[in-house]
Structure 1
């Protein structure tokens, strides 16, 4: 007779929820308004699975409610389940957790070349060889398992100073990886998809959500730029307010410097940023600075889908009327860009704003935001003094 421990070991694990089951949950929760326990009973699933699934696919934006209003809402009003959203998040998580962990023959050959021929260490390979997107510890694990062949004598004995330096480097990299993993787990360093945006951003009902892009100068026939400067463009989604920041080049430090100037001017009215997948915006350095240090969430559009940032694209076309393609930005300074954006912001928008100008709408929305924040601060102060 098998013991309880043996029964636990051989117990088969239930398969994960599929798209059909998620559609069934969506109907039973949103339409039939069954309880979590009733859905679990009908689907022969654990209630905890149903509870987590409902949270995963919830499309309600809690930011539009106060805590008191939220607690007074019935459970079916607090959770509007979307099978599509839950399926997307599930696929994204499974892709992220399994990403870059498989040792392919091509990757094995590449790592062996850098170790055996170029005499690089795993720490030097990780993060520096473009096609090797794994950590140094992963490379060492593969080597210990015999999945990577390292020639005898390739590992240097090294002096005591070399060994201490390598040890210090490994410790720093491990600490950095540990801290970054904590940030990823906390959500500060997650690269949010545009599909994760709340409805308040999608429908432009809330002020303070911006789109960001880069406008580049002219190129030669060989696709080489005449100069390295660029213009960062920002559009506030609700008011269509447009602002421009000149940067020296597309490197991470210059992009961060340009964003800091934008944030210095408009940080008090910046809730989120929607960007494309350009290398200047998807770098961990930029993401960590904006999301962790400044506390501004970044949403990334689908690659090759400029229509998902339509406001920014339209404003950039407007900018090209003043700065046609084929010109350089060498002689353009920040005051000139400020004057240019002021001119664009004073143009009436007949359809998007019913004939109003972005500058006026922006001023009205900013005044509302400041008034609401003052009222909130007074309520908070009054509550704390009671």
Structure 2
């Protein structure tokens, strides 16, 4: 019984084909070539058959010989035809465009089972205009790298440093450890959004507050604490968070380092989700809009949650 085989996906390479050509020229049999390459004899038989060309050995005499280059060309042509192209029909186009308006990324459309098309194909259709939308339909277009800002050497945080935060919070072990931030809509000193994101479940709380001040933040936080159980808060060093200790246990408030937004990456990423619905410069935001966005985020499947929603994880844990 043979003890060698060709595993799925382990195709012959051009180097393998060069060896086959050389060994056949030296007089090796197909079975001997198969043994040397650790392949099934039938694999080598099919390969040799596919790579035969007519070669002149002397005047008026020709014979069929194996050519590695000819076999490689045949292999590459066959690979191009091995995958059936996905056709963009009217129903698929309408479905993708619908979820684009719902601010779904192509990956989320596919992974959540809403669209049965490869992710790369959707991006291809967008980039080549097959969906009737351009690159503006992409949620996060790439931006030029900004200059890194540096904190003053004399800087002191408003409270306990994030370096003192327990490992249980760093590892997202428990529900109730939140990151907090504000999202401004315009440069004018008017209404903005207060956002809190649970580190484990990614559940998002959004409140519309009259301005970006410590008193407005504290007033909204008092209301939130009546509805949700919060064990810890991680904030940046903005003045709006300088008085959190007036409404929350100061031992459970941690301040990130200046200009290191990735230390509150969970909250920052969720604020980007808000921007899908309220781009910078949006005016006259209503409480109805805020409620809709909060509900949309908490019912949006996430890859990091194994495509469960934050609401499902929150109430399951």
Q: TM-score normalised to the size of structure 2?
A: 0.49
The structure in which a higher percent of residues are strand is: 2
Max Rg structure: 2
Structure with the larger RCO, 1 or 2 (CA within 8 Å, 6+ apart): 2
The structure in which a higher percent of residues are helix is: 1
